[in-house]
Amino acid sequence: MDVEYVARLARIGLTSEENALFQKQLGQVLRYIDKLKEADISGVESSAHAVPMFNVLREDEPRPGLTVEEALSNAPRQANNLFIVPKVVE
């Protein structure tokens, strides 16, 4: 694994020390999980979930939710009932 590349995919900035350390540590973890390649999975259906429940629906009725003030209460920056973010287009 190229840690620097994958960290970019995950939008995580790493210092060069972290980069080197994780390269080593995750290498060990990957060597360990390669064990799974030995498992015989022929004919096995995959499971994303341990519980056999599908398409759980509820009535589509309005319910109380957060107010605008509550929804914005943890925003790093806000103004005019909006989340303020850095400018992304020139």
CA distance 19 to 30: 16
Nearest CB to other proteins, comparing residues 58 and 81: 58
Report, in Å, the least distance between residue 9 CB and other proteins: 5
Looking at 16, 46, 80, 81, which residue binds other proteins (CB under 8 A)? Answer: 46
Find the DSSP H helices in 11-81: 16-33, 68-72
For the beta carbon of residue 72, count every other beta carbon within 10 angstroms. Answer: 15
What letter represents residue 50's amino acid? A
Residues that bind other proteins (CB under 8 A): 1, 3, 6-15, 18, 21-22, 25-26, 28-30, 32-37, 39, 41, 44-51, 53, 56, 58, 66, 70-71, 73-77, 83, 85-86, 88
